[in-house]
């Protein structure tokens, strides 16, 4: 009887390990809001008790929602604007939104959507946050510097040459130092001259980082990064923009 009993105990422990949501999936619901489509804007309050997060996504239930924009308001009241012209069906989810900088507390999520005058439909929009854990620290030594460029704000466009010797990458982000930069767009030129355009109307403070940009396809050689930003006529400030690549 001893061996069968031991096998039962082991099986129970294994099933508990596999079924544990904390271990199997770290996406957790941190808030929700009913949408009646008579307005064009709603918000979901979250607060510090929910925890700290590196990325979020929105889940839609009961009826489709056509989003226009999403604004994340962090615990320090800094805003992160995410253009999102996406129609999400009932039961669907938006893409994952990588939040800038380190893991963050979120105060609230504001989302704008298309109205439907006269509609009796109601949708439920839930915010899912990806939990940061001690086992997955915010700093990761697989992020490596690929190149940098000084920005003097007299023009509205700069580029950072990289080349094949840097290696191949699946995702990148930009880090800003010395002065804030308001980006407009980022263009990634791959080794085969294919272009990948990333709209990025984000104001990144000195010391901050853009969201993570997932590159299409497999890991890729990058020839250069072109970034467009707001000019500051008459400004003496200079910023440094650095490209970081994630080595898988």
- CATH number of the domain to which 166 belongs: 2.60.120.1380
**Residue 94 domain-assigned (yes or no):** yes
Check pLDDT > 60 for residue 10: no
| Better-predicted residue by pLDDT, 18 or 48 | 48
**Residue 13 domain-assigned (yes or no):** no
Please say which residue of 87, 106, 131 terminates a domain: 131
85 CB-near residues (< 8 Å, 6+ apart): 67, 68
pLDDT of res. 140: 56
Q: How many CB atoms lie within 10 A of CB 186?
A: 22
How many domains are there within the chain?
Answer: 2
pLDDT digits (tens, 9 = 90+) for 132-149: 654 444 445 688 889 999
- Tokens at residue 220, please? 């890729």
Which stretches does DSSP call E strand in 75-122?
79-83, 87-88, 97-98, 106-113
**Residue 136 domain-assigned (yes or no):** no
Answer yes or no: do 154 and 240 share one domain. Answer: yes
Question: What are the C-alpha distances in Å from 139 to residues 58, 123, 246?
Answer: 25, 37, 12
Which residue range is the domain that position 54 belongs to?
25-131
pLDDT band, very low/low/confident/very high, at 200 (cuts 50, 70, 90): confident
Check pLDDT > 90 for residue 186: yes
**Residue 102 domain-assigned (yes or no):** yes
pLDDT band, very low/low/confident/very high, at 194 (cuts 50, 70, 90): very high
Answer yes or no: do 219 and 157 share one domain. Answer: yes
For 23, phi and psi rounded to 5 degrees?
A: -95, -35
pLDDT of res. 169: 92
- pTM value is 0.49
210 CB-near residues (< 8 Å, 6+ apart): 100, 173, 174, 175, 183, 186, 200, 202, 204
**Residue 86 domain-assigned (yes or no):** yes
Please say which residue of 100, 131, 162 terminates a domain: 131
**Residue 69 domain-assigned (yes or no):** yes
Q: Report the percentage of the chain scoring pLDDT > 70.
A: 84
Residue 110's beta-bridge partner residues?
Answer: 43, 71
Answer yes or no: do 227 and 150 share one domain. Answer: yes
Strand-strand pairing, 79-83 and 65-74: antiparallel
Answer yes or no: do 160 and 197 share one domain. Answer: yes
């Amino acid at each position: 009887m001893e061996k069968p009993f031991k096998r039962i105990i082991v099986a129970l422990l294994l099933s508990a390990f596999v079924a544990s949501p904390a271990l199997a999936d770290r996406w957790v619901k941190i808030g929700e809001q009913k949408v009646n489509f008579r307005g064009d804007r709603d918000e979901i309050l979250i607060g510090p008790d929910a925890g700290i997060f590196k990325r979020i996504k929105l889940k839609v239930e009961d009826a489709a929602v056509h989003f226009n924009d999403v604004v994340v308001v962090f615990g320090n009241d800094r805003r992160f604007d995410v253009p999102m012209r996406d129609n999400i069906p009932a039961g669907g989810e938006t893409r994952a939104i990588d939040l800038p900088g380190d893991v963050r507390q979120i105060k609230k999520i504001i989302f704008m959507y298309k109205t439907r005058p006269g509609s009796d439909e109601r949708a439920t929009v839930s915010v899912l946050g990806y939990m940061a854990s001690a086992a997955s620290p915010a700093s990761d030594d697989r992020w490596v510097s690929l190149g940098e460029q000084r920005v003097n704000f007299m023009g509205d466009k700069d580029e950072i040459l990289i080349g094949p010797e840097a290696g191949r990458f699946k995702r990148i982000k930009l880090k800003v130092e010395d002065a804030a930069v308001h980006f407009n767009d980022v263009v990634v030129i791959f080794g085969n001259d294919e272009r990948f355009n990333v709209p990025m109307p984000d104001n990144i403070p000195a010391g901050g980082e853009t969201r993570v940009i997932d590159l299409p396809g497999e890991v890729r050689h990058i020839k250069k990064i072109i970034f467009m930003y707001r000019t500051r006529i008459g400004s003496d400030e200079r910023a440094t923009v650095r490209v970081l690549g994630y080595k898988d």
